Amino acid sequence: GMGFRGQGMSIAVLDAGFENVDQLPIFERPRQEGRIQSGIDAMNSQGGLYAHHRHGTAVLGTIAGSLEDSLIGTAPEATFWLYRTEDAYSEYLIEEDYWIAAAEHADSVGVDLINTSLGYSQFDDSTMNHSVEDLNGITARISQAAEWAAEKGILCVTSAGNNGNDPWHYITAPADADGILAVGAVDMSGNHAAFSGFGPSSDGRVKPDVMALGVQA
């Protein structure tokens, strides 16, 4: 490799929860070195950051994991700020606002990168739903905010969403934001993963921006 291990970088991970990150051996090294920092639980929920869901744990593991002969993440030397913005128990538009509050906090502590493996399209209350036409980078609040973060110099990395197999076949907000890195999934042969959201944005920009291994990774 080229030796890029995230040294001196500060990475915010915005997700649904980081169950057991405070205990799992894979995170022991960054924990001991003080490189796992508590951002905010935007819902102020019981249990806080280290409860509710394992999705954030899995995402953080692929980046921060540091266990010899088992898993070394993509940036194991970085400092990580954890944020809970996604309510795993329901889907409402307020979760985009939770994300914005977390992104503002991440900006205030000077993060270099925000990772968001989340996406929004349709909600439990259908009057809140985005339309495919909304995927223009400027309609969804979360997409506006991702662009603002990018303009402030934060690299925003987000997933294309997991709706490729659904009636909503497309990317999800904030993957439509301008100036960010939206990542889709391929399998080991380089084929588009069936679940990975399809572009382009509604205003015709190529999305996702890049593809990476996302099947049995």
Q: What is the pLDDT of residues 47-74, one digit of tens each?
A: 899 999 999 999 999 999 999 888 899 9
Tell me 22's DSSP state.
T
Q: How far apart are alpha carbons 205 and 153 in whole angstroms?
A: 21
Query: Looking at residue 166, what DSSP letter applies?
Result: S
Quote the pTM value.
0.96
CB-based burial label for 139 (10 Å; 0-12, 13-18, 19+)? middle
Mean pLDDT across the stretch 208-216?
Answer: 95
> What's the confidence (pLDDT) of residue 3?
87
Q: Give tens-digit pLDDT for 98-115.
A: 999 999 999 999 999 999
